[in-house]
Amino acid sequence: MKNIQEVLTSPFRGSSANYEAVKQQIKERFGDECATSYDPYANDCMPLISWANYGYRVKAGSKSLKSTTFVEVRDEKTGEVIRKIKRTVNLFHKNQVEKVS
């Protein structure tokens, strides 16, 4: 049977600041060992919809990890960035999900 890392491709598009913020949350919830082994490119944390697309579901009672991203709003004519909108992304660690049978 394949493990999570062999099956999934990473949706991570974040920055180093985002990486550190999520890593700190993992450390607080799951301990140093999980935080040390955290790799965003190895699908350790993904949004609910990404886990669902790969046949996983979030365990009951799990609370999401918070990550922040910025969405760029561009001018239709010139293509220049007019403003950036801050969005919170809810992520779930691989310890918080289980394979749907």
Residues 5-62: tens digit of each pLDDT: 444 444 556 678 888 999 999 999 999 999 999 988 888 899 999 999 999 999 999 9
Tokens of 70: 């910025």
Number of domains making up the chain? 1
Measure CA 53 to chain center: 14
Q: Supply the range of the domain harboring residue 48.
A: 4-99
For residue 4, give Cα distances in angstroms to 37, 78, 83. 14, 42, 37
Residues 63-76: tens digit of each pLDDT: 999 998 888 899 99
